[in-house]
């Protein structure tokens, strides 16, 4: 759907048989409704390139069938919820180009099927968690353009499938 404006309706959470929801590249604003956490059959949730704001709802952690979560290119704030670590079927977690703060949750190390992790162009702080070294299916890891500190964890050496590792524009030593 194109040229959508306004808010994402709470009532979308009633469509519990829905397996794919793409509302990307519109002019949707306001917060992501927590009611989307009721869409437990959902395999893909694409809300990228809108003007969504507020925090990422913890309720999205209930979407255990999800293989793709694309929330990039919005104005999302707050932290990355550790509940996203429950999405063990996830292949792509795309959160870049938002205003997310805080640390990268250790729980993301539970996403062992993850192929793509894009956390770049936010305001994330703290160290890169060594738990990311458990993501052995990862082919692309981007955490550039944040405020990450500390050293590059040696555990990232276990990511033998990794084709692209982008860490620049941080405060790493």
Residue 3: predicted pLDDT:
84
What backbone torsions phi and psi does residue 153 show, to the nearest 5 degrees? Answer: -65, 135
10-23 pLDDT per residue, tens: 999 999 999 999 99
Please calculate the CA angle 29-32-36 and round it to the nearest 5 degrees.
140
**Nearest residue to 94 via CA among 55, 130, 49:** 49
116-166 pLDDT per residue, tens: 999 999 999 999 999 999 999 999 999 999 999 999 999 999 999 999 999
**Quick one: which H or E segment has residue 101?**
strand 101-102
Q: Please give the DSSP secondary-structure letter assigned to residue 81.
A: P
Prediction pTM value = 0.96
Residue 84: predicted pLDDT:
98
């Amino acid at each position: 759907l194109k040229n959508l404006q306004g808010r994402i309706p709470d009532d979308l959470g009633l469509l519990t048989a829905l397996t794919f929801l793409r509302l990307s590249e519109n002019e949707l604003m306001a917060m992501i409704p927590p009611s989307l956490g009721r869409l437990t059959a959902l395999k893909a949730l694409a809300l990228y390139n809108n003007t969504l704001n507020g925090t990422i709802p913890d309720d999205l952690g209930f979407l255990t069938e999800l293989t793709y979560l694309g929330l990039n290119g919005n104005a999302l704030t707050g932290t990355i919820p550790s509940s996203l670590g429950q999405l063990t079927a996830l292949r792509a977690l795309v959160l870049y180009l938002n205003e997310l703060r805080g640390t990268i949750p250790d729980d993301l190390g539970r996403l062992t099927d993850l192929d793509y992790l894009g956390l770049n162009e936010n305001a994330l702080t703290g160290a890169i968690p060594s738990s990311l070294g458990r993501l052995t299916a990862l082919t692309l890891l981007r955490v550039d353009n944040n405020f990450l500190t500390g050293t590059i964890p040696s555990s990232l050496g276990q990511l033998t499938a990794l084709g692209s590792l982008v860490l620049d524009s941080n405060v790493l030593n």
